[in-house]
Structure 1
Amino acid sequence: MEVGFCGPGLMGAPMIRHLLRAGHMVHVWNRTPDKAQALAKDGARVVPTPGALASSVELIFLCVSDAAAVEQVVFDPEHGIAAAAQRTHSATRVRRIVDHSSIAPAATRGFAQRAAQLGIGWVDAPVSGGVAGATAGTLAVMAGGAAADVEAATPVIGAYAARITHMGGAGAGQTAKLCNQSIVTATVAAIAEAVSLAQNSGIDAARLTEALAGGWADSVLLQTFVPRMTRRGDTPIGAMRTFQKDVDTIAATAYETGTPMPVAGTVQQILRLAAAMGLADADFSAFVDVLQPGRRN
């Protein structure tokens, strides 16, 4: 199948490679052209604008930074996917957009309504599993949208996902991702506290993975972040600003729905402090640097 993909970043690039290995032809666009061109050697076809995809593929995937980027890619009046879809009379025309970005449920519902007016189905499909999951092709996908649209996209998404769960209508996938991120960010913050307590108490914090393995505190996050918090030089797997964006969205959605989330509120303040300390672009493991500022020196 020929598909389009906007946003070959840390997550998008390995997802595209899985699509190519599965036999799909992938047309790729990125705001930074070099990131798209890097995939040409793998067989991807680079296009100059998002709108260039609208007349050549029926299914387009997005994996961009935030809601503003989604709106620009899809609804820009000059180069956006929707504008090009309106202009084209090709037999091949975009029918569905699958958005892997993590954005607010309310924004997603608005985008889905605007797309529907053009006859384009919208699937919000944020993912969990990080760069490691994208590379391994084992991502968990939480999907929202019409059942027919989710069903149509599922075989293609299966190239890089181990599980796809349809959570409900438009925005339901994004809400599920916020639930995921509330657990992830709170857990990583708690791991940072545990590492700090161990180090300040004079024990080898790096051995916590061994000591807690198999117990209630054990998890993929524990096994991933204790090593990253107790050594230097690991390749970044994501930036703190991404966590801050997600937790700010959690806070806004909690307010909209009247949901008390005191733990998420505390994590939000830690992330804001991290940004004030110049750690917005630091790896996710920088939670421990907020708790131990002298560690960075």
Structure 2
Amino acid sequence: MSEALPSLGFIGLGLMGQPICKRLLDAGFQLNIWNRTPTKAEKLAAYGAQQVSSPAEIVKNSEIIGLCVTDTASVQHLLNQPDGLLEALQPGQLIVDFSSIAPLATRQFAEQARKRGADWVDAPVSGGVQGAELGQLAIMCGGSPSSLDRLQGVFSPLARQVTRVGEVGSGQVAKIGNQMLVSCNALVIAEMLALAEASGIEVEQLPAAFAGGFADSLPLQILAPRIAAKDYANPKWTVKTLLKDLQLAADLARQEDQATPMSHLAAQLMQMQATQGRLEEDPATLVELYRQTPQTGKSK
């Protein structure tokens, strides 16, 4: 007989949380869900998840608790709010945090959990909504080898690769590095395409022209067609998320006394998008920082 699957709880049903939970349900897990905005849980409840009334109730009904929320402050609030996670944690339980948050705070949260006899794994992901839908995420983990062993069955329907990069907090450091590369890449893609447009070439051909070469990347293949078509509808990721992660990179660089000039410039450019009210838009809109008006030749 196969070993029974552990009961899971999940908090955070946004762009990434929804497809992650759907894949867990498809894999046969019993899944308890909670979201700050209850209506976001309705589709998953109709699909077979059990919607509960509080974070504490998630803990009471789950062996492993997954989080996928916006930022460090959101995790802090979930732990310490009335009827929150921390007061309900029991020895032997495990929190796995898919959110992208600060490494130092992650270590502090893990210590709070350990005082209750529970454990913590930080497991931020890369691959976007499409990767989550297809079960092709890359998961970078910080935590004990034994806790990661417990999560093998949970990660299996979600990821094409799972990499332990160190103790608790290490996964968040790796994700910050991932986002530094993605953010700078997105800005250079936008800059390059604006220059190509101004030069009069068929920019829609560039993703195919670069495919398989040293300049190729997933961000290029995702962003370039949208930029060429000026199609920014239905974003699967946002400038806001990238800027948040660049701010985490800046904080980490200060803590470690390291210079990160390229990422600092990327954050400044994305902040310009913010001043234009484009934080919630697709990173493809970053091209508008570089496009020129035909009348003046000046950037918009």
SS in 2 for 1:235: coil
Aligned equivalents of 1:170, 1:81: Cα separation in 2: 18
Aligned equivalents of 1:164, 1:244: Cα separation in 2: 25
Contact 1:59 1:95 in 2 (8 A): yes
Deviation, 1:94, is 6.5
Aligned equivalents of 2:181, 2:46: Cα separation in 1: 38
Contact 2:232 2:284 in 1 (8 A): no
2:206 matched residue in structure 1: 208
User: CA offsets, 1:213-251, max 9 Å, x none?
Assistant: 222111222111100111225421112111110000001
**Which has the higher mean CA deviation after the structures are superposed, 15-24 or 48-57?**
48-57
**1:106-185 to 2 correspondence within 5 Å?**
106-185=104-183
Aligned equivalents of 1:290, 1:238: Cα separation in 2: 18
Corresponding pairs, count: 290
1:260 matched residue in structure 2: 259
1:294–1:29 Cα change, 3 Å? farther
1:66 aligns with 2:71: yes
Deviation, 1:128, is 0.3
Deviation, 1:100, is 0.3
Deviation, 1:96, is 0.4
User: CA offsets, 1:21-72, max 9 Å, x none?
Assistant: 1000110000010111121111001011111111111100000000111111
User: CA offsets, 1:104-152, max 9 Å, x none?
Assistant: 1111011111111111100000000000100101100000012211211
2:277 matched residue in structure 1: 278
1:2 aligns with 2:7: yes
Q: List structure 1 runs of 4+ shifted beyond 4 angstroms.
A: 293-297
TM-score (norm: length of structure 1):
0.94
1:196 matched residue in structure 2: 194
Contact 1:181 1:247 in 2 (8 A): yes
SS in 2 for 1:13: helix
User: CA offsets, 1:183-232, max 9 Å, x none?
Assistant: 11111111001110011111122111122222211122211110011122
**1:4-83 to 2 correspondence within 5 Å?**
4-76=9-81, 78-83=82-87
| AA partner of residue 70 (structure 1) | V
2:3 matched residue in structure 1: none
Aligned equivalents of 1:81, 1:94: Cα separation in 2: 14
Deviation, 1:293, is 7.3
1:294–1:12 Cα change, 3 Å? farther
Aligned equivalents of 2:40, 2:162: Cα separation in 1: 27
**Which has the higher mean CA deviation after the structures are superposed, 137-146 or 213-222?**
213-222
Contact 2:97 2:121 in 1 (8 A): yes
**Which has the higher mean CA deviation after the structures are superposed, 185-194 or 256-265?**
256-265
1:243 matched residue in structure 2: 242
Deviation, 1:154, is 2.1
Aligned equivalents of 2:92, 2:37: Cα separation in 1: 23
| AA partner of residue 48 (structure 2) | G
Contact 1:59 1:94 in 2 (8 A): no
Deviation, 1:75, is 2.1
TM-score (norm: length of structure 2):
0.93
| AA partner of residue 140 (structure 2) | M
SS in 1 for 2:273: helix
SS in 2 for 1:54: helix
SS in 2 for 1:4: strand
**Which has the higher mean CA deviation after the structures are superposed, 212-221 or 137-146?**
212-221
Percent identity of equivalent pairs: 39
SS in 2 for 1:23: coil
Contact 1:100 1:127 in 2 (8 A): yes
1:288–1:25 Cα change, 3 Å? same
Q: How big is the alpha-carbon RMSD for the aligned residues of Structure 1 and Structure 2?
A: 1.7
1:233–1:260 Cα change, 3 Å? closer
1:84 matched residue in structure 2: 88
Contact 1:57 1:94 in 2 (8 A): no
1:74–1:208 Cα change, 3 Å? same
Aligned equivalents of 1:66, 1:243: Cα separation in 2: 12
| AA partner of residue 65 (structure 1) | T
| Unaligned 5+ runs, structure 2 | 1-5
